Amino acid sequence: MAIKKSELYSSLWQSCDELRGGMDASQYKDYVLTLLFIKYISDKYAGRPYAAIEVPPGASFKDMVALKGNSEIGDQINKKVIARLANANQQISQADFPDFNDPVKLGDGKEKVERLTNLIAIFENKALDFSKNRADGDDILGDAYEYLMRHFATESGKSKGQFYTPAEVSRVIAQILGIRRAKTSAATTVYDPTCGSGSLLLKVADEAGTGVTIYGQEKDAATSGLARMNMVLHGRPTAAIVKGNTLTEPQFGSPGALKMFDYVVANPPFSDKRWSTGLDPQNDPFERFRSFGEPPAKQGDYAYAALRLFKQRAQESGRMDRAVLRDGRELLLGNLELIERHGLKRAACLLFSDRPEKYVSGAWIKIGFFVTDDDLRYQDEIHGNLFEQVEKTLDLLQTKYLKAYISYHGLQRRETFLFPDAALREALLNAVVHKDYSSGIPIQISVYDDQIVLWNPGDLPENWTLARLLGKHPSCPYNPLIANAFFRVGYIESWGRGIQKIQRECKEHGIEPPVYDFGMAGLLLTFRANPEHLQAALTQRDTTQETAQETAQETDRTAQEAARTAQETAQETDWAARGTAQETVQERVLALLRAHPLVTRKELASRLGLSDSGIKYHLEKMKAAGVIRRVGATKSGYWEVVK
């Protein structure tokens, strides 16, 4: 018979209440998950030769059961069970486990014996058989782990991120990486420098089409132990999880060189004010801060970013050898010709610094919306490295500045922007790659209802004319190092076809090609909207505004009428109607108790929108009528619906 997940989770959460007492949730989680781990490996591996985890004689969950009621139960668990498991398995350490003989956390004498005995008894439930590790087709260990961690975080009043990355976030990150589409194998490496309890690493590994090799580092001793246990619980016992601060003590690599990985993911300690404790960034033996400078004192997350985005996109584009992408930072920058005799070239700061304007004045983009040339309504500035500037600018244009018109093809509704996205992207990339960064002036984009004007400081190559630029020509970027980096990540081509691409996209979109003007100490590029499309967009906008105003007025009238009706209805309501309402409330209470037998009175009141005294009244009425009853203690018990 399949295990019901609700029963499993209820049993596990009861164990939390049995053990907790006055202990903080962040501490008692270590004990509960250790019991979960030992129960699992005992069911799964005990007595099996050549198993992924060896469970030596005397170190199984059955041996823990035999210690119930023993006055030395805590000490015996430490010495006979945990110590033997650690000695028999290289991938786990006794330091991974909490002290089961700690009088401060567990109490002394009889209190400790009873608490540990009760905890072990809960895991004796025959329904908690992990030998198959499945319940109705689900991964009960994975689900149970997520359930417990979520409740631990809630109970302790701390962020869940201190224990694990939520499953929803982990899945999104794993999908963004694109590892499912990649050709992976057992040699493919995945690394998390701040792995916590390992949930993000597991989601990425699950997303891969084949088995991959997992590496992780976590500075908190207890959490790194949870990560190792979590790997075992999810069938990945060979994962290399080590303890240590990634910034001060990177554990993977050789002296003077860090190990490179195919995929790197992290949910780092954002805005960590103590990130540099024990670290001298200016004398870092791995020179991790030489290229990009020292992160701000209160923003440790910058210390983890580096070239990660570039490497990922270059790998996806296939335009750089994967062996080169595994090289250290300095070798990679050298391969891109971004290092000179005395340090980094200016292009490196523009491409990879989070604040390039700190090194190159005017290295940013500004956008403004104009009604007329002298009537600016709103504006934005876009900062960050050049890759980020391109993506942020395009996103901002689509979401805030550009208008669209609606058309119908049969029953299908289509929303089309007045200007082609691909043409704007190509024009912006050209501006970034060909800009004269010595000018100290940002790229400027002026948006009007009927046109977009993009200006960037720069000039044509020597002896070039506008006619030659608009015709077939070889690639001749003003900033070849920046162009090379953009080519490597797949943002641009290297054949001088950008202008032809812009013209083709405009034609397919039904607008004229942009007008080029090399006056005003730079290139002025003007896109003009199709008059028919513009008229449709403006008409639809005006209609929408009028409809919104009429709707608001109608809503106001309807609200006034509803208020009068409600008042009249309230005056006509009699006690019989109140009785019906009471029955409805009690039916809702019963539905919640059936679905969540562990729910508290406070939670019931919150979900039903009642006061504590109100929910107490209904519970007492139903108990008196024999409809429900309370089983067990106030804190660790549960509700049972009798009828």
Count: domains in the chain = 3
- Alpha-carbon distance values, 424 to 144, 152, 355, 477, 513 (Å): 49, 49, 24, 18, 12
Among 199, 263, 190, CA closest to 233: 199
Locate 179 and state its tokens.
């590892």
Among 339, 185, 325, 183, CA closest to 264: 325
User: What integer pLDDT is reported at residue 602 of this predicted model?
Assistant: 80
* Domain-embedded: residue 188: no
User: What integer pLDDT is reported at residue 574 of this predicted model?
Assistant: 40
Domain harbouring 117, CATH code: 1.20.1260.30
User: What integer pLDDT is reported at residue 68 of this predicted model?
Assistant: 94
Domain check: are 60 and 124 in the same one? yes
Q: Burial code of 582-605, b = ≥16 C-beta within 10 A, e = fewer? A: eeebbeebbebbeebbbbeeeebb
Domain check: are 8 and 65 in the same one? yes
* Domain-embedded: residue 391: yes
Mean pLDDT of 583-592: 77
* Domain-embedded: residue 598: yes
Angle between helices 5-20 and 109-123 (to 10 degrees): 170
Domain harbouring 625, CATH code: 1.10.10.10
Domain check: are 463 and 580 in the same one? no
As a whole number of angstroms, the distance between CA 141 and CA 149 comes to: 12
User: What integer pLDDT is reported at residue 469 of this predicted model?
Assistant: 80
Mean pLDDT of 474-495: 88
Domain check: are 31 and 148 in the same one? yes
* Domain-embedded: residue 290: no
Domain harbouring 480, CATH code: 3.30.565.60
Domain check: are 46 and 122 in the same one? yes
What does the pLDDT look like over 171-207, one tens digit per residue?
Answer: 888 888 889 888 999 999 999 999 888 889 999 999 9
* Domain-embedded: residue 129: yes
What does the pLDDT look like over 32-51, one tens digit per residue?
Answer: 888 888 988 888 888 888 88
As a whole number of angstroms, the distance between CA 229 and CA 217 comes to: 14
Q: How many CA atoms lie within 13 A of 576 on its CB side?
A: 1
User: What integer pLDDT is reported at residue 85 of this predicted model?
Assistant: 92
Most confident option among 15-29, 104-118, 369-383, 527-541? 369-383
Could you say which of 138, 157, 176 is where a domain stops? Answer: 157
More confident residue, 144 or 386: 386
Mean pLDDT of 86-112: 87
Domain check: are 42 and 149 in the same one? yes
- The band of 410, judged by pLDDT with boundaries at 50, 70 and 90, is low
Among 482, 493, 489, CA closest to 318: 489
- The band of 572, judged by pLDDT with boundaries at 50, 70 and 90, is very low
* Domain-embedded: residue 359: no
Alpha-carbon dihedral of residues 484, 486, 489, 491, nearest 10 degrees?
-130
Mean pLDDT of 294-322: 70
User: What integer pLDDT is reported at residue 3 of this predicted model?
Assistant: 53
Could you say which of 111, 142, 157 is where a domain stops? Answer: 157
Residue type at position 210 = T
- The whole domain housing 609 covers 575-641
- The band of 293, judged by pLDDT with boundaries at 50, 70 and 90, is low
User: What integer pLDDT is reported at residue 448 of this predicted model?
Assistant: 94
Domain check: are 520 and 609 in the same one? no
Among 194, 19, 190, CA closest to 100: 19
User: What integer pLDDT is reported at residue 580 of this predicted model?
Assistant: 41
pLDDT, the chain, mean: 80
Locate 396 and state its tokens.
């901002």
**pTM higher than 0.75 for the full model?**
no
User: What integer pLDDT is reported at residue 519 of this predicted model?
Assistant: 72
Is 11's pLDDT higher than 60? yes
User: What integer pLDDT is reported at residue 71 of this predicted model?
Assistant: 92
Domain check: are 581 and 518 in the same one? no
* Domain-embedded: residue 270: no
Q: How many C-beta atoms surround the C-beta of residue 297 within 10 A?
A: 11
Domain check: are 497 and 591 in the same one? no
- The band of 66, judged by pLDDT with boundaries at 50, 70 and 90, is very high
- The band of 154, judged by pLDDT with boundaries at 50, 70 and 90, is low
Indicate left, alpha or beta for 440 from its phi (over 0: left) and psi (-120 to 50: alpha): left
Is 306's pLDDT higher than 50? no
Domain check: are 27 and 139 in the same one? yes
As a whole number of angstroms, the distance between CA 89 and CA 228 comes to: 12
Angle between helices 386-396 and 480-488 (to 10 degrees): 70
Domain check: are 518 and 369 in the same one? yes
Domain check: are 8 and 125 in the same one? yes
User: What integer pLDDT is reported at residue 76 of this predicted model?
Assistant: 95
What does the pLDDT look like over 361-376, one tens digit per residue?
Answer: 999 999 999 999 989 9
User: What integer pLDDT is reported at residue 458 of this predicted model?
Assistant: 83
As a whole number of angstroms, the distance between CA 31 and CA 68 comes to: 16
Could you say which of 472, 501, 529 is where a domain stops? Answer: 529
* Domain-embedded: residue 72: yes
Mean pLDDT of 428-436: 93
